[in-house]
């Protein structure tokens, strides 16, 4: 559900601000009229570019019939690591939901990461999502995140 109308961030709502390497779990200690986010947990994972992660040349395959050979596409290690991190975030949110640590969740992430998270989320988590904001905000100060989600 993309954000179309203003988001009401109720007291004690959980806000996940994440990208492919870092995630902030923020709790609203204010109310819908005055959002006051407090950092509850930070998850980080080092994810260098693919050129720094992959050292082998792409492989080659040989057709089972004939003599045709073709190159295999090189793995995008950076993207794979982002997918793994999305799975890790989904698991952490599942534990939060299972322990009833939040009733409402707002997810802020770049569009590609948001897509990966949607695939990884358990229904206990998706049932509690009240808004999704497709934007990269992990490097922004908390005050700017507050202003953006309360706008």
Contacts of 75 (CB under 8 A, 6+ apart): 50, 54
**What pLDDT, in 10s, does the model give residues 58-103?**
555 555 566 665 555 566 555 667 778 889 999 999 999 999 999 9
Is residue 43's pLDDT more than 70? yes
Contact 5, 150 (CB under 8 A): no
Q: How much is the pLDDT for 3?
A: 46
All domains of the chain in start order, with CATH? 14-44+77-150 (3.30.420.60)
Model confidence, pTM: 0.77
Please give the Cα distance from 18 to 101 (Å, whole number).
Answer: 19
pLDDT of residue 32: 85
Nearest to 8 by CA among 34, 45, 26: 34
Q: Express each pLDDT in 2-11 by its tens digit.
A: 445 667 899 9
State how far the alpha carbon of 106 is from the alpha carbons of 12, 13, 19, 94, 97, in Å.
11, 8, 14, 14, 13
- Looking at the chain, the whole-number percentage of residues with pLDDT higher than 70 is 72
23 with 39: CB under 8 angstroms?
no
Phi/psi for 44 (5° steps) reads -135, 150
Of 145, 151, 150, 119, give the one whose Cα is nearest residue 25: 145
Q: Which residue has the higher pLDDT, 20 or 90?
A: 90
- 1 confidence band (pLDDT: 50, 70, 90): very low
């Amino acid at each position: 559900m993309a954000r179309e109308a203003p988001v009401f961030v109720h007291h004690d709502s959980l806000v996940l601000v994440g990208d492919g390497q870092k995630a902030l779990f923020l709790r609203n200690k204010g109310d819908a009229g005055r959002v006051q986010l407090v950092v509850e947990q930070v998850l980080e994972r080092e994810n260098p570019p693919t050129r720094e992660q992959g050292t082998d040349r792409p492989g080659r395959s040989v057709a089972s019939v004939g003599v045709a050979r073709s190159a295999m596409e090189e793995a995008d290690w950076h993207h794979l690591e982002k997918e793994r991190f999305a799975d890790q975030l989904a698991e952490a949110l599942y534990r939060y939901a299972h322990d009833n640590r939040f009733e409402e969740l707002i997810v802020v992430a770049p569009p590609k990461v948001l897509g990966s998270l949607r695939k990884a989320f358990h229904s206990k988590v998706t049932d509690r999502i009240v808004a999704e904001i497709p934007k990269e905000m992990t490097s922004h100060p908390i005050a700017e995140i507050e202003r953006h989600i309360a706008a």
